[in-house]
């Protein structure tokens, strides 16, 4: 038996086929500064509840995978230092050693699946980093999408990445990439990456049906739903690009590598945009939580 500890609210939702939306914790510990991280985590949970679904924020503490956190746990995670950023490779090791760990997209998918949760909302998935042809830096999030049957709602992949290579890699792995309501693949802070999305769907009902059909077809792996940031909150591509490039050169000059790259870039872009990137990040996560709740509701309805 996996060492899962569900909150009473989540356990009840699982028992009653109430729609549930999984939420990750790396965005809290490594993606946003305190106190906006904790405030956002709370607002995202409230958004899911307002849509009639149950939020399940996931993290590792005291040798257990917690599915659904208390207010106190959210607060302490949001202020904790030296929290491990957990992916597929180190989830079990963190549990074994009794450390505190925040789950990335990959680890959250694994934990959601164990808890019987089909849908997960985040900001942006990890992907193929720029320069991957020499560094080999490719996020474990991509392989997880190929293996674990959870539908992930994100605003695309983060624009700090090499987006054409990220899409190529997802295609190789057989991961459905579905833009919601538009043809273009979104680019996290901007609605349009300039790349066409491989698939497009315009309703939560169709996305839910495709999720269930993949199971019926015996296809392993999940789906990436790429939900563009709301128009009023986006930072246009032309405007954010120079900041991304400045942050990338700085990361290279300082020799930032591996798991530290994404948190460093997000923090630098926050400074370079005078906080606008964080405002956009919060808006897109809230919007993804809304869509994920609709999809979870549809999956619960279509299952019965
Ligand atoms: N979405 C956000 N901010 C984040 C993340 C997602 O809006 O910080 C996190 C997720 O946990 C994702 C991770 O798995 O960034 C990607 O990290 P890496 O590039 O090191 O794989």
pLDDT tens, position by position, 53-103: 999 999 999 999 999 999 999 999 999 998 999 999 999 999 999 999 999
Per-position b or e across 204-216, b if 16+ CB within 10 A of its CB: bbebbebbeebee
Classify burial at 276, counting beta carbons within 10 Å of its beta carbon; exposed 0-12, middle 13-18, buried 19 or more: middle
Report residue 270's pLDDT band, with 50, 70 and 90 as the boundaries: very high
> What does DSSP say about strands 223-226 and 151-154: parallel, antiparallel, or unpaired?
parallel
* Ligand 1 mutation pick, 111, 122, 140, 227, max ligand atoms within 8 A of CB: 122
Ligand 1, atom 5, residue with closest C-alpha? 27
Per the annotation, binding residues are 85, 105, 137, 139-141
Residues in the ligand 1 pocket, defined by CB under 6 Å: 24, 26-27, 30-31, 104-105, 122-124, 126, 139, 141, 259, 262, 266, 281
- Of all protein residues, the one whose alpha carbon is nearest to atom 8 of ligand 1 is 31
Report the catalytic residues.
Answer: 24, 158
Query: What is the distance in A from the centroid of ligand 1 to the CA of 189?
Result: 14
Q: Which pLDDT score, from 0 to 100, does residue 304 have? A: 84
pLDDT of residue 233: 98
């Amino acid at each position: 038996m996996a060492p899962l500890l569900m909150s009473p609210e989540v356990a009840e939702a699982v028992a009653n086929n109430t729609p549930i939306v999984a939420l990750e914790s790396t965005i809290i510990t490594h993606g946003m500064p305190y106190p906006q991280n904790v405030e956002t985590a709370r607002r995202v949970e409230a958004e899911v509840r307002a849509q009639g679904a149950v939020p399940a924020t996931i993290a590792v503490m005291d040798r257990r995978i917690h599915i659904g956190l208390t207010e106190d746990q959210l607060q302490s995670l949001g202020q904790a230092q030296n929290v491990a950023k957990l992916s597929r490779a180190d989830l079990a090791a963190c549990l074994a050693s009794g450390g505190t760990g925040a789950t990335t997209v990959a680890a959250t998918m694994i934990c959601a699946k164990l808890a019987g949760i089909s849908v997960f909302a985040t900001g942006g998935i990890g992907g193929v980093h720029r320069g991957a042809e020499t560094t080999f830096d490719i996020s474990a999030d991509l392989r997880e999408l190929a293996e674990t049957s959870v539908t992930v709602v994100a605003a695309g992949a983060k624009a700090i990445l090499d987006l054409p290579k990220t899409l190529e890699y997802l295609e190789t792995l057989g991961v459905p990439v579905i833009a919601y309501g538009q043809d273009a693949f979104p680019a996290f802070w901007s609605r349009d990456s300039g790349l066409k999305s491989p698939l497009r769907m315009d309703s939560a009902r169709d996305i839910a049906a495709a999720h269930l059909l993949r199971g019926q077809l015996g296809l392993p792996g999940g789906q990436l739903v790429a939900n563009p940031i709301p128009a009023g909150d986006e930072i246009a591509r032309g405007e954010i690009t120079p900041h991304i490039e400045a942050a990338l050169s700085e990361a290279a000059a300082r020799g930032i590598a591996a798991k530290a790259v994404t948190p460093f870039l997000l923090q630098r872009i926050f400074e370079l945009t005078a906080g606008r990137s964080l405002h956009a990040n919060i808006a897109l996560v809230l919007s993804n939580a809304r869509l994920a709740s609709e999809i979870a509701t549809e999956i619960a309805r279509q299952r019965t």
